[in-house]
Amino acid sequence: MSVAALLELGYTVHAAASGEEALRLFESLGRIDMLFTDVVMAGMTGRQLADALRERAPGLRVLYTTGYTRNAVVHNNVLDPGVAFLPKPFSVAELASKMRDVLDA
């Protein structure tokens, strides 16, 4: 749903089924403007993926999503306070607004 919504909003999207695939994709592309990732993934967390990509691209903007509440992910040290976060479920309008906020930051 997110890929389709982002394409509909006019973004160029490179989807990856796992963190490892996202790392390989980044290596082949050379750069991306923003990472939109779920906090919970098999193999590595969204935070681990973002940290690995930020080693390669320090200014990378990141937007996290999850079905868990912000309190759950912050209080369990999954995400730091103040990171860009969009809780599931979200609408296309909410995704568009949050994407713009993160890209403009």
Output the pTM of the full model.
Answer: 0.87
The strand order across the sheet containing 34-38 reads: 34-38, 61-66, 85-87
> 99: left (phi > 0), else alpha (psi -120 to 50), else beta?
alpha
Query: Is the pLDDT confidence value at 67 over 70?
Result: yes
| 45 neighbors 39 (Cβ within 8 angstroms) | yes
Is 72 a residue whose pLDDT tops 70? no
Domain ranges of the chain: 2-104
What is the reported pLDDT for 16? Answer: 95
What is the CATH code of the structural domain delimited by 2-104?
Answer: 3.40.50.2300
Question: How confident is the model over 12-60, as pLDDT tens digits?
Answer: 999 999 999 999 999 999 889 999 999 888 889 999 999 999 999 999 9
Q: What is the DSSP letter of 58?
A: T
Q: Share the mean pLDDT of the chain.
A: 88
Helix (H) or strand (E) holding 65: strand 61-66
> How many whole angstroms from its chain centre is CA 90?
14
